[in-house]
Amino acid sequence: MNNIDLIDRYFDNSLSPKEQLLFNDLLQNSEDFKNEFVFQKDLKKVIALNQRENLKSTLQQFEENSIKNTKILFLSKKWLIAASLALLIGLGSWFVKNTYFISSEKLFTQNFEPYRNIIQPIVRGESSNTIEYRAFLAYENNDYHKAINLFNSVNNQDATYVSFYKAMCYLSLDKTTEAINLLEPIILSSNLEEMDKKLSEKADWYLALAYLKTGENKKAVSKFLIVIDRPCNACKKKRRSENILKHLN
């Protein structure tokens, strides 16, 4: 695949994960490729501007017809043209930005949802005085501050699942650094029990999202690739990871 095709596939959001890695590498290390990419991006902006000019002409024609038919001018011509241009430029900028460039923050928001409670099933109407039960009850009620305080009070604070669900709370509260500090040791743990091993695999996905939110895209890419390559992961996470990689550059 030549550079032009690679760039075209980028703007079409159709790069495979391997092609996305090649694209990122060329963009960082090849001056010719970077110049071609910038040229193509500017060309698309010019096309968008041309479309705006056509719309501007239509608005002006509408204004002239309105004046001719009603002979009443409620707004000055200059004001109307200025307002039209401001609207067109604003819409054009929004279109280009939202079509071709999605922020890491937006990608995180679109893909993050706290992992369900698989440790301490909560039976509605049932009461329990254990701290752990109350912690997971607060978690399921989205009361993440309370859940963190309760998780900090359980006897087995070093348990993998406690760290994992505390990280979910921190991610939900936009405390990404705290979440990363909890998730990183989980994926490095060895000799895990079956349940902890399952949470460790889930931690790769959430750690990738956390890196994405903090702007650590290289780390995020490496984790998303792990999610894609792991055969036991759900197809939904694979598809989401592949889609996110297409937007990273």
The structural domains of the chain, ordered by start, are 3-101 (no CATH), 109-247 (1.25.40.10)
Which distant-in-sequence residues (6+ apart) come within 8 Å of 52 by Cβ? 88, 89, 91, 92
pTM of the model: 0.59
For residue 241, CA distances in Å to 208, 218, 235 come to 9, 14, 10
Cα diameter, the chain: 84
Q: Considering Cα of 151, then 157, then 163, then 167, what sign does the dihedral take?
A: positive
pLDDT band at residue 121 using 50, 70 and 90 as cut-offs: confident
Summarised one tens digit per residue, pLDDT across range 28-74 is 888 888 877 787 777 767 666 666 666 666 666 766 665 555 544 44
The residue-averaged pLDDT of 148-174 equals: 95
Q: Is 36 helix (H, G, I), strand (E, B) or coil?
A: helix
